[in-house]
Amino acid sequence: MDRLEENDNSRRGETEPLQQRRPEVEAWLTSIITIRRDAPAPRDKQTNKPKIQKVPPMLRNILANRKCYEPLVVSLGPFYHGRPELEPMEKLKTEMSRLFVADNMKHIKELYAAVAAVAGEARKCYDARATDAFDEVDFSKMMFLDGCFIIQFMRMITVEKGLQIGNVMKSNDVAFAYRHLFLLENQVPFLVLEALMPEIEAMMTKFFQDTSALPPETIRYLPTIIKFMGAKVGQPGSTAGDNLHPKSIHLLDFYRSQLVNGNKQDAGNDKQTRSWSSYRSAKELKTVGIHFLPSRTQSYKDVSFQSNLLTGTLRLPPLTVDDSTKSKLLNMVAYETCPDAPDDFSVTSYICLMDDLIDQAEDVVELRSKGVLLNLLGSDQQVADLFNEIGNDLVPNPTAYSEVRGQIEGHYKNRLNVWIAQFCHTHFSSPWTIFGLFAAIFVIALAFTQTYFTVFPRKSDAAPPSASPH
């Protein structure tokens, strides 16, 4: 009896703290299922979320890519403003602003007033902590100088064909400044650029075309940004709101829209999401009869596959790989990871696709020889290393390119296609293999003929009959 009472007291002792805090737990559970007035809105309806954010730590902590996120020459916006190592370019911003004002028909006070009028909205595009050090006037001055610098930089490269930019900036500074335009943490709100130049869309269209460095055979297929946005520059009755993508927030977002939008293929088709059972390199796909051709656009969604009787053709958007490619791709990936960014992960998925296709320098050679890649970086191995590095730890949209992947896998599993392709690859891949094949056929045919006539000699070769006696 004493032991039962002891056990009962022990159980009461164990549950007594829980009983005492039961009202607290019940209130906590109620708070979880209760919709609060101050609760954050659904993701697609967030209006108070900062639009220009820092690179997420999970990406910045990759040592090989860390230098791709921070400016080395020019700062744009508040994140890196005032750093001593970037001070020389701050002085150049004043000169670029003077040149911008000189090229416009408006007075400098009128241009500054236009920026000051939108400075309040522009400040909301950043996290409050990034702009705490700036009062209203200082922030407006920063937006004015940075906006003038961006527009004048694009104008001098496009309108003046780069002839005057060399009189203002050194060539290495021009290369770095161009790269810094596409850093996630180095962005100026689009509304500031529009305040300075309402027709900014046409300027940006030409800027992206002139700096794309595409080979001549593909430049005629290059779709303009305005075509991606569903309108034409200067079209009668069109407005700035019609030409500009409604979700474009800054220059990097606009550039990403150019590379992602405009394809007829439905990226959401997930009928064959899991049919791509393994990943193939370009060299391996070539051995099974799959050839590569550049798509007619640069859109990262413009990927298609066509299977013929015995071969297949994979079309990929043409890509120029240079010193700025890694930085631009990584910053678009960083932008896609932001909570308020588009959630299709189109650029991330494209990088993962290219990482699948490119393992070694031989894969780059194959894509380069077909016009898919233009290598301005250096060796083919450097291009392979670039995609292998930036493709690490990236998670693509599982439905991206699912239909194409399924079609490739279906072709790959067709044994007749594989056998014929491998035979052609083995015996017809070079003049020497073709010569060797025909030489082997000739030797076999010669041996067969010799054997045949040995067994079945011709009558003329037979022994003459013996003469009959008279």
Spatial distance between the Cα atoms of 350 and 176, rounded to a whole number of angstroms: 25
Q: Which residue has the tokens 């025909």?
A: 438
Asked if 184 and 335 touch (Cβ cutoff 8 Å), the reply is yes
The lowest-confidence range among 2-16, 280-294, 356-370 is 2-16
pLDDT over 50 (residue 324): yes
Mean pLDDT of 137-144: 96
pLDDT on residue 301? 92
Asked if 130 and 78 touch (Cβ cutoff 8 Å), the reply is yes
Burial of residue 333 (CB within 10 Å: 0-12, 13-18, 19+) is buried
pLDDT over 50 (residue 233): no
Mean pLDDT of 403-414: 82
pLDDT over 50 (residue 239): no
SS3 248: coil
List the 304-307 sheet strands across, edge first. Answer: 290-294, 312-316, 304-307
Spatial distance between the Cα atoms of 438 and 446, rounded to a whole number of angstroms: 12
Give the CA distances from residue 268 to residues 170, 272, 398, in Å, rounded to whole numbers and listed in that order.
Answer: 46, 11, 9
Strand ranges inside 264-408, DSSP E: 290-294, 304-307, 312-316, 319-321, 373-375
pLDDT over 90 (residue 319): yes
pLDDT on residue 232? 33
Spatial distance between the Cα atoms of 441 and 89, rounded to a whole number of angstroms: 71
Strand ranges inside 335-395, DSSP E: 373-375
pLDDT on residue 305? 93
Q: 64-75: per-residue pLDDT in tens?
A: 888 899 999 999
Q: What percent of the chain has pLDDT over 70?
A: 70
Higher-pLDDT residue of 228, 398: 398
Higher-pLDDT residue of 48, 375: 375
Mean pLDDT of 386-404: 87
**Mean per-residue pLDDT of the chain:** 77
pLDDT on residue 292? 95
Compute φ and ψ for 40, nearest 5 degrees.
-65, 145
Q: What percent of the chain has pLDDT over 90?
A: 38
pLDDT on residue 103? 87
Count the neighbouring beta carbons within 10 Å of the beta carbon of residue 101: 18
Asked if 281 and 356 touch (Cβ cutoff 8 Å), the reply is yes
Give the CA distances from residue 174 to residues 170, 177, 281, 326, in Å, rounded to whole numbers and listed in that order.
Answer: 6, 5, 36, 17
pLDDT over 60 (residue 272): no
Higher-pLDDT residue of 268, 428: 428
Q: 95-139: per-residue pLDDT in tens?
A: 999 999 998 888 999 999 999 999 999 999 998 889 999 999 999
Contacts of 21 by beta carbon, 8 Å cutoff, 6+ apart: none
